[in-house]
């Protein structure tokens, strides 16, 4: 039975500096059942963010407030937060694209080929890249493009186009006062992956969880228990269905509103079952190659933001990677979420996310379980739980 989890919201604090408490004191700024459950099982003491805490599990904005230039508070060695100060460098779609393009230029200069780096769909950032987008749409007549607000989440504001006129019409209808510009705010327009791998005739994407404990040196872990998120309607590329989100967008927040949504399994399939399906239909060798490519994709997307990421020894972050697999078993990076949803739709979903948070805490905390920014965050194999080491530049250099 899923426990009843109702917690009051709190606001950002004026921090206090007091003697280190005997027990871990934690604060949260939103209702997160699986986080609270993990803290309770460890016997930790909840405090308001206005009080003295050792771990602050915050929204990204809450973390940015901690590190504001005009905030004179400085974190002690026994305090940790669950985001890096500028995590938007990888989680904002426009910044991810910019950082990735810079990384690829450097890779090409040093390696000479981008063949191994082809896992981000052709993408343009509006309004700056509008002229290049126009040329691309003209050049690839009839191709489908997906338009996304740069900083949105849960599928908000996303739509598909196959003609440039659709971009103008949709933006002007939704923003009647913005005729002077193509779109209000920053958008990304990506070549739509129109040949996705289908299971049961339906499109899905893959949600993978990646923990980063340091960007310099880069230390990252990949969790084994990701899952697939399925659309509720069968896939088609018909131009008459471009605006049917139940066909094209896998976000649970969208699919759960449809009449075909199954509350029993939540429209999800575990990574373990996906592996078994692919091994039985495509073979073990190609399946292993696919998951090796996914690890490669994640590792280099993290390396791409290392030069711009504000690394801080008090920080850790668990990212939610969204990946599309095409019918040739090639993975494509869709986006990276700095606050992947910890809301659960089924009991299985609840235990999965409870386990992920437990494993995160076991890795980022020293063996004695008390937060310490001085600790080198090098856990034992047992402490890693279902996380596997993706990359540790410190170990690789030793």
Tens of pLDDT along the chain (398 residues) come to 444 444 333 433 434 444 444 699 999 988 789 999 999 999 999 999 889 999 999 998 888 888 888 877 789 999 999 999 999 999 999 999 999 999 999 999 888 788 889 999 999 998 899 899 999 999 998 899 999 988 776 667 888 999 888 876 444 444 444 433 445 568 899 999 999 999 999 999 999 999 999 999 999 999 999 999 999 999 999 998 988 989 999 888 788 777 676 776 778 999 999 999 999 999 999 999 999 999 999 999 999 999 999 999 999 999 999 999 999 999 999 999 998 988 888 888 999 999 999 999 999 999 999 999 999 889 999 999 999 999 999 888 76
307 in Cβ contact with 295 (< 8 Å): no
CATH number of the domain within which 162 lies:
3.30.1490.20
347 in Cβ contact with 2 (< 8 Å): yes
Q: Which of 21, 393, 13 is nearest to 214 (CA)?
A: 393
> Quick one: 284 and 303 in the same domain?
yes
Rounded to two decimals, what is the model's pTM?
Answer: 0.89
Q: How far is CA 52 from the centre of its chain?
A: 29
CA–CA separation, 21 and 228 (whole Å) = 42
- Decide if 359 is inside a domain: yes
387 in Cβ contact with 319 (< 8 Å): no
- Predicted local distance difference test score (pLDDT) of residue 183: 52
| Count of domains forming the chain | 2
164 in Cβ contact with 130 (< 8 Å): no
Q: Can you give the residue range of the structural domain that contains 377?
A: 195-397
55-57 and 25-28 as β-strands: parallel, antiparallel, unpaired? parallel
- Decide if 223 is inside a domain: yes
- Predicted local distance difference test score (pLDDT) of residue 345: 82
> Quick one: 202 and 265 in the same domain?
yes
Three-state SS at 98:
helix
- Predicted local distance difference test score (pLDDT) of residue 17: 46
CA–CA separation, 369 and 376 (whole Å) = 14
Listed residues 145, 170, 191: the one ending a domain: 191
- Predicted local distance difference test score (pLDDT) of residue 91: 95
> Quick one: 137 and 156 in the same domain?
yes
- Predicted local distance difference test score (pLDDT) of residue 112: 76
- Decide if 107 is inside a domain: no
Question: Looking at the DSSP assignment, which residues form a beta bridge with residue 80?
Answer: 55
Q: How many helices and strands (H and E) does the chain possess? A: 12, 16
> Quick one: 155 and 258 in the same domain?
no
What is the number of residues in the chain?
398
> Quick one: 279 and 169 in the same domain?
no
- Decide if 84 is inside a domain: no
> Quick one: 292 and 221 in the same domain?
yes
> Quick one: 341 and 390 in the same domain?
yes
- Decide if 32 is inside a domain: no
Peptide bond just before 217 cis, omega within 30 deg: yes
Listed residues 191, 217, 240: the one ending a domain: 191
């Amino acid at each position: 039975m899923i426990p009843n989890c109702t917690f009051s919201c709190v606001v950002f604090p004026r921090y206090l500096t007091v003697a280190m408490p005997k027990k871990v004191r934690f604060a949260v700024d939103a209702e997160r059942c699986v986080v609270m459950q993990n803290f309770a099982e460890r016997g930790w003491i909840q405090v308001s963010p206005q009080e003295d805490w050792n771990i602050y599990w915050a929204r990204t904005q809450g973390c940015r407030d901690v590190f504001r230039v005009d905030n004179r508070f400085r974190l002690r060695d026994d305090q940790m937060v669950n985001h890096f100060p500028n995590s938007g460098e990888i989680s904002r779609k426009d910044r991810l694209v910019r950082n990735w393009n810079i990384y690829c230029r450097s890779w090409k200069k040093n390696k000479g080929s981008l063949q191994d780096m082809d896992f981000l769909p052709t993408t343009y950032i509006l309004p700056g890249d509008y002229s290049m987008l126009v040329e691309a749409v003209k050049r690839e007549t009839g191709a489908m493009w997906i338009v996304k607000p740069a900083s949105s989440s849960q599928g908000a504001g996303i739509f598909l186009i196959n003609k440039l006129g659709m971009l103008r019409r949709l933006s002007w209808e939704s923003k009647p006062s913005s005729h002077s510009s193509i779109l209000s705010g920053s958008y990304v327009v990506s070549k739509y992956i129109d040949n996705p791998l289908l299971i049961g005739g339906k499109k899905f994407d893959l949600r993978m969880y990646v923990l980063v404990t340091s960007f310099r040196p880069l230390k990252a872990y990949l969790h084994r228990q990701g899952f697939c998120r399925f659309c509720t309607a069968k896939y088609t590329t018909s131009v008459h269905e471009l605006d049917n989100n139940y066909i094209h967008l896998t976000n649970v927040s969208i699919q759960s509103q449809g009449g075909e949504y199954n509350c029993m399994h939540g429209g999800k399939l575990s990574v373990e079952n996906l592996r078994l399906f692919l091994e039985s239909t495509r073979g073990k060798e190609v399946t292993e190659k696919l998951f090796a490519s996914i690890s490669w994709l994640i590792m280099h997307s993290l390396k791409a933001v290392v030069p711009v990421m504000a690394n801080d020894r008090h920080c850790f972050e668990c990212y939610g990677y969204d990946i599309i697999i095409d019918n040739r078993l090639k993975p494509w990076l869709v986006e990276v979420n700095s606050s992947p949803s910890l809301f659960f739709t089924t009991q299985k979903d609840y235990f999965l996310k409870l386990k992920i948070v437990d494993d995160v805490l076991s890795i980022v905390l020293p063996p004695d379980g008390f937060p310490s920014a001085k600790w080198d965050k090098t856990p034992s194999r047992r402490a890693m739980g279902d996380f596997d080491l993706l990359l540790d530049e410190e170990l690789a250099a030793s």
